[in-house]
A and B are shown apart, each in its own frame.
Chain A
Amino acid sequence: MNNLDSIENYGVHEAGTAPILSLEGITKTFPPSVVALDGVSFGVHSGEVHALLGENGAGKSTLMKVLAGIHKADAGEIYLEGRPIKMENPMDAKHQGILLIHQELSLVPEMTVAENIFLGYLPRKWPNRVDWKKLYGDADAILKRLKCNFSAKDKVSKLSIAKKHMVEIARALVFTPKIVVFDEPTASLTDTEKFVLFDVIHDLKAQGVAIVYISHRMDEIFTLSDRITVLRDGGYRGTVETKETDEDEITRLMIGRSLDTSRNIDTAQFGDKVLEVKNLSCGSLFQDISFSIRKGEVVGMYGLVGAGRTEIAETLFGLRTPTGGEVLLDGKRLDITNTTDAVRNGLALVPENRKEQGLVLGMSCRDNITMAVLQHVSSAGVLSRAQESNIYDKYAEELAIKSPSGAQKVGNLSGGNQQKVVIGKWLATHPKVLILDEPTRGIDVGSKSEIHKLIRQLAKSGYAVLVISSEMPEVLGVSDRILAMYNGRINGEFLDSEVTEDDLVRAISFEQKGQL
């Protein structure tokens, strides 16, 4: 709990009077007709954490790419310490002291951590040889500052995604930057790593570095930032002092209306047990998992990344072979060894990684939606376009998928609509059990609440639903019952109506007895 306490100390800031960096009237269009940024202006002070918020497509990333010299603005000026600066490429930005820490990783996997941190700036010694000793020494010092528990000599390809992100952050610390931009830095970090990152941000701030922090996560923004600037549809919507605002105001600025977060707590009786899991184990990944889901019920599975949640879903879906225990569907024992069996038996899994596991991005929306029901839209193996279109039209309407047509490539849709296509694909199979793994990851606030509503509706119409999530508001918002996972075990089971946030945090962080 030490980490949690230490965040509380962040809040206060004494900003300088003139901003160290200011952007004025930045406009950027992508031909032929996409206006990504429309006259955006904002300023950042030294020693300030300035949060940049906005839905997907609001222009945050484009703005930061302009700042980092990756895109060139069509109009507008960037001032650094009062002087206008011109940036032609990312190197210019770096030399001006502006560092962008990317959402996507840009590491060389086959090199060591140290080589990656100092890529392009390897320390030399006479006559022009790499000074390995200094390289590893310096790199280890930076890693120590980041409290990383891996060595500078480790190969990057052997690290987990979270650790790779820490290496990416370590790169920024090689220089003494004036401005550091973090673009969704915590998306793949565990809580512990997140707190280390917050400490680093705190350090940088204390050294007078200006920090621009882009994130979807409200809680982070409220604990970290001093001021918040909101973008919507490529336009500037306002800057507020974090201390003087609340989530409601920010949300209104972001989406232009208030969100309906309340849900009807349906006290209707649930049906029979549909899925029953008994003592399911899979090696060291998870052990002794028992739970059941009734018809019409949403069970939330809450826990940290690495607690074994995704692995349970994958085992149920036939992607992993369990080492013990059994799974009953409608009271009958299931023996599923591959995904084809799983689909045939009425299981559906909306996977964690939409783009890599959920969709064939190069294919049309229609072809993606019918992917799991090809036998129903064909006779003697020959597909019927008409039947395929029927299925697409049905779910496009039911789920309110915003796409110009079924022939549209699914890769061109927004994240929220892509996720709806994945959900549509599974509804088309008329499953008994619907498993959703991180259903709103990387989806903007507006679409998020839409998907939450959808999950409730699906349960109401008779599906048994399992929602896996690492976001507490999501779990609390959609579930009837919550399972807390810790270290490969179910560490507590709670009724949504009775649980407190405190209970949940404790249950996913420490070993304890369940309490239902």
Chain B
Amino acid sequence: MSDTISEIKSGGEASLAKKYSQLLARQGILVAFVLFLVVFSIFSDRFLSTDNFMTVIRQASIIGTIAIGVTIVVIGGNLDLSVGSLLSFCTVLVVDLHDKIGPTGAIGLMLVFALLIGAINGYLIGYLKLNSLIVTLGMLSAIQGITLIYTGGQNVDIQNQEGTWFAFFGRGYLWGIAVPVLIFLGLALIAEFVLKATTYGRKVFSVGGNPAAAVFSGLRRNRMVFSTYLLSAFTTACAAIILGSRVMGSQNNVGQGYELLVLAGVILGGTSLLGGSGSITRTIIGVLILSFIQNGLLLLGYPYYAQWLVTWAVIILAVWLDIASTRGKIFTSFS
């Protein structure tokens, strides 16, 4: 009996230590985030200021808005790598059409095309059950091609930059907050609510967590997957409106590399690429970390490309810590 008692005792002590390590594991990304802020504020006096923070969040809003849709796709058990060139295409389209058919028509038509591309992705992956990595990777280059054909290789811009309400989305302020930030956080709030509190969200988690069990429970896997791609196309289109409005013009490859930044933010937030788990809040934190690293490195005077290396290191560290916390140790043993 004394064995059992000591067992329970040591169990009690262990559980306190375990509580801390569990907290660290679960909130590790948040801890890392705060650590970053502290370190950067020590080394740069400009870093820790409301102005700088608002700038960073505004810069993060484009990646963040796209990441909202991509997070939903990933929770549903798939990937979307086409968002980079979709962002280019949508931005070029909305900017080019602005002067031709006015802002309302431009936004409307651009949304139609974005959703059409999302629907093609969704059909191929949801209904024909093709591999999402391959489909969206193919779509990435296909859309880049379409964009180049559309523009004939030229960049586009808006002539009358001051006299259009289109400028509101990228340059405006409401209640003292930049509109891109409002769009980003507004969409995030809605998406988080939909994921956590609606039947739609629950179905996305189920389908991503175990597609077979979802189908065996009478859920329509194909329809759910299809819809997640419409959502990622939609949030990408929203990001394109912000980007087009902010720059009032567009290079035909403006979104190049965004797909990886977005995915980095999602992974950094801790949403599992296997599907079935994750949250928008986590993704926002992931995206903000990336943006703060970028910003901090620039303020510290490092060259632009340094952020790529640091981003890589941060992602590896995040994934490693995540695995280590589920495994209970940092390194694995034999086999």
| Interface residues, chain A, with chain B CB atoms under 8 Å away | 29, 31-33, 35, 89-90, 317, 319, 338-340, 342-344, 349, 351, 356-363, 367, 371-372, 374-375, 378, 381-383, 425
Rounded to whole Å, the gap between the CB of A318 and the closest CB of chain B is: 9
**With contact pairs A33-B11, A35-B7 given, residues A351 and B199 touching in the complex (Cβ less than 8 Å):** no
Q: In the bound complex, do residue B217 and residue A375 qualify as a contact, i.e. CB atoms below 8 Å apart? A: no
Q: In the bound complex, do residue A383 and residue B206 qualify as a contact, i.e. CB atoms below 8 Å apart? A: no
Q: In the bound complex, do residue B220 and residue A340 qualify as a contact, i.e. CB atoms below 8 Å apart? A: yes
- Considering the chains assembled together, what is the distance between the CA atoms of A382 and B277 in angstroms? 19
Name B219's contact: one of A89, A349, A371 (CB within 8 Å). Answer: A371
Rounded to whole Å, the gap between the CB of A219 and the closest CB of chain B is: 30
User: CB of B218 within 8 A of chain A?
Assistant: yes
**Which single residue of chain A is at the shortest CB-CB distance from B18?**
A32
User: CB of B50 within 8 A of chain A?
Assistant: no
Rounded to whole Å, the gap between the CB of B168 and the closest CB of chain A is: 31
**Which single residue of chain B is at the shortest CB-CB distance from A317?**
B216
Interface of A is mostly: mixed
Q: How many residues of B are in contact with the other chain, CB < 8 A? A: 30
User: Quick one: which of B263-313 are within 8 Å of A by CB?
Assistant: 276-277
Q: In the bound complex, do residue B218 and residue A343 qualify as a contact, i.e. CB atoms below 8 Å apart? A: yes
Name A382's contact: one of B7, B10, B198, B334 (CB within 8 Å). Answer: B198
Residue from B203, B215, B277 with most neighbouring chain A CB atoms (10 Å)? B215
Name 15 A/B residue pairs within 8 A (Cβ), A-sorted. A32-B11, A32-B18, A35-B7, A89-B334, A339-B218, A349-B216, A362-B277, A363-B209, A367-B205, A371-B219, A374-B203, A378-B198, A382-B198, A382-B199, A383-B199
Q: In the bound complex, do residue A362 and residue B276 qualify as a contact, i.e. CB atoms below 8 Å apart? A: yes
- Considering the chains assembled together, what is the distance between the CA atoms of A383 and B276 in angstroms? 18
**With contact pairs A33-B8, A351-B216 given, residues A381 and B198 touching in the complex (Cβ less than 8 Å):** yes
**With contact pairs A32-B14, A381-B198, A382-B198 given, residues A372 and B276 touching in the complex (Cβ less than 8 Å):** no
- Convert B178-198 into 0s and 1s, putting 1 for each residue whose CB lies closer than 8 angstroms to a CB of A: 000000000000000000011
- Considering the chains assembled together, what is the distance between the CA atoms of A340 and B222 in angstroms? 12
User: Which residues of chain B come closer than 8 Å to A362, judged between CB atoms?
Assistant: 209-210, 276-277
- Considering the chains assembled together, what is the distance between the CA atoms of A362 and B75 in angstroms? 12
Name A356's contact: one of B7, B198, B205, B212 (CB within 8 Å). Answer: B212
Q: In the bound complex, do residue A363 and residue B217 qualify as a contact, i.e. CB atoms below 8 Å apart? A: no
Q: In the bound complex, do residue A357 and residue B213 qualify as a contact, i.e. CB atoms below 8 Å apart? A: yes
User: CB of B15 within 8 A of chain A?
Assistant: yes
Name A361's contact: one of B203, B205, B210, B214 (CB within 8 Å). Answer: B210
Q: In the bound complex, do residue B213 and residue A358 qualify as a contact, i.e. CB atoms below 8 Å apart? A: yes
Rounded to whole Å, the gap between the CB of B2 and the closest CB of chain A is: 14
Q: In the bound complex, do residue B198 and residue A372 qualify as a contact, i.e. CB atoms below 8 Å apart? A: no
**With contact pairs A363-B206, A378-B198, A383-B202 given, residues A371 and B217 touching in the complex (Cβ less than 8 Å):** yes
**With contact pairs A89-B335, A383-B197, A383-B198 given, residues A319 and B7 touching in the complex (Cβ less than 8 Å):** no
User: Which residues of chain B come closer than 8 Å to A367, judged between CB atoms?
Assistant: 202, 205-206
